[in-house]
Amino acid sequence: MIGLATLATFDLVPEDEIQSILATASPVSCLLDPLPTWLLKKLAPNIIPVICNLCNLSLQSSSFPSCMKRAFVCPCVRKPIMDQDVLSSYNRPISNLTYVSKVLEHQSVQLVFSPSVCISCTSFD
């Protein structure tokens, strides 16, 4: 018997939670970010309602926006002394998401692991 957990109910994300995530998240930018993270944080009071709405729409539709699924991927050398011209010197690729994607991901994780979330399990025979 295989069980499948589905998200049955959840509360809408309030703007103060997005504000908290923006305030505590590291200000690291990605090459795909449309504006630098420091500027996004500075404009936070104007941008938080948009990010909050995007997060809530994503959760309600059970869909992550396609434009947020892009990542900048760069290979990481296992050890600095290894030959960078040899493919086997590389461990695994590092994926850098846009800052807003990371905020949405962080909020989704908080939501799923929140004690107020009702998760129903369906079993299949």
Instruction: Express each pLDDT in 20-77 by its tens digit.
Output: 988 888 888 888 888 888 998 899 999 999 999 998 888 888 788 888 888 888 777 6
Instruction: Please report whether residue 73 resides in a domain.
Output: no
3-state SS class at 116: coil
Instruction: Please report whether residue 48 resides in a domain.
Output: yes
Report, in angstroms and rounded to the nearest whole number, the Rg of the chain calculated over CA atoms: 19
Give the span between the Cα atoms of 27 and 101, in whole angstroms: 13
Instruction: Please report whether residue 88 resides in a domain.
Output: no
pTM of the complete model: 0.68
Instruction: Please report whether residue 7 resides in a domain.
Output: yes
- Number of domains the chain is built from: 1
